[in-house]
Structure 1
Amino acid sequence: MTDDARHRIAERAAHELHAGEVVNLGIGIPNLIPRYLEAGANVFVHTENGLLGVGPPPSEEELDEDLIDAAKRPVTALPGAAYFDSAQSFAMIRGGHIDVAVLGALQVSEAGDIANWAVPGKDVLGVGGAMDLVVGARRVIVTMTSTSSSGEPKVVERCSYPLTAPGAVDTIVTELAVFRRVDGSLRLVELLGGATVEDVEAVTTARFAVDDALAVGSA
């Protein structure tokens, strides 16, 4: 996937976040989102290793090697940020205090099932906090490419990889499209990067409806 595609996904996903929300960002594309949050957006970014109030990546002058996110990448802390230990962080997640979780996935099914922690036949590095996040957050947004590195669709009718959680995903943002689950079914609500509905259909095995008021993204 090109950097342009990754940044297109992150920029579009940033528009899904609303003022006052506490948002956990997973490793990978979600980590790019803070740079696309407008100044004064009033979105509180949470990282499970113990910081609420994550800011954009630091400049060389701002770099603090002790201030990192869950991906061990340097971050900044916004004024009023709070620090806590991992146990408290997961109590926030499991207690339903996280409004939105944004994370990557290997597959998402048309029923909203998510698989993002293991590929059969390959070494498993660990599920991390994903299982807690996708059931503890009030809203789950998946940011991922439309296909795998081998060209296999990632928005599928049924997941073939081990599930992280069933029926957990509310919104999917890829480099081509935005999908939402509406009344239990998958709906294409926006096209990105000049894609057409036919382009999306060519890389998607999930069944989906097309929104009547489909907006063509300008990203």
Structure 2
Amino acid sequence: MDPRVLIAKRAAQELKDGQLVNLGFGMPTQASNYLPVGVNVMFHAENGVFGVGPRPRPADAKADMTNAGSEPVTLVAGAAIMDLATSLGAMRKGVLDVTILGALEVDQLGNIANWAVKRNGKWWPGIGGAMDLCYGTKTVIACLMHTDRNGESKVLKRCSLPLTGKGCVKTIITDKAVFDVGTQGLILKEHAPGVTLADIKACTQADFSVAANFGEMKL
């Protein structure tokens, strides 16, 4: 299975019936394709939509109906469209139950860095609404590849990139593992198919304990 699909499928398993859910750019937006049977949620796009529906057919796509990543969307019954300021206000106020965010790095304190890397001496691209989501959402789930292109861990003791949110992440989902962020650090809950505990230890910089019910990812 494509590792990004695996991450999106596993992230979808975290969602519960009736929740208001924001999906960040990239892998998180794909989680809507893998909702468990019987789970109905209301998806939010930070550019100003509550009630984002399935991706339309190319012939039905409309240039003025997109999510925050400029991907075409449809609307479900009961959807609400608003200006960006109202949408950001809802995010800050705590209306959302869950946000699933992509990440560049996460760490054992529940910190997340997802907005900037240094290119030609400048931080790029910009913070967007992720900071508002981190501090205004009840549950933040971070999704990322476990290692970078050089095989170095992206699940760290401390994030090295500028933080988006401090101590806000509750669950970390990678292509190799699922961690909960506990009061005493990371707790390894699940491994991806074909990945062993030894594999995870070898590619994880962060300290973690292993849950008593540690087992394979539920997909």
- The TM-score range, normalised by the shorter chain, is over 0.9
Aligned residues: 217
Distance 1:43 1:184, change over 3 A: farther
Distance 1:157 1:50, change over 3 A: same
Q: Which amino acid aligns with 1:69?
A: N
Distance (whole Å) between structure 2 residues aligned to residue 149 and residue 171 of structure 1: 23
Distance (whole Å) between structure 2 residues aligned to residue 40 and residue 217 of structure 1: 20
> In the alignment, what sits opposite 2:182?
182
Residue segments in structure 2 that go unaligned for 5+ positions in a row: none
Superposition map of 1:141-160 within 5 A? 141-160=141-160
Superposition map of 1:1-219 within 5 A? 4-38=2-36, 40-120=38-118, 121-217=121-217, 219=219
Contact 2:12 2:36 in 1 (8 A): no
Q: Which has the higher strand share?
A: 2
Contact 2:95 2:137 in 1 (8 A): yes
Distance 1:122 1:196, change over 3 A: farther
Contact 1:191 1:217 in 2 (8 A): yes
Cα RMSD (Å): 1.6
Residue 119 of structure 1 aligns to a residue whose secondary structure is strand
Tell me which stretches of 4 or more aligned residues in structure 1 moved more than 6 Å: none
Residue segments in structure 1 that go unaligned for 5+ positions in a row: none
TM-score scaled by length of structure 2: 0.93
1:152-179 CA-partner distances (Å, limit 9, x unpaired): 2110011111111211110000011110
TM-score scaled by length of structure 1: 0.93
Distance (whole Å) between structure 2 residues aligned to residue 212 and residue 7 of structure 1: 27
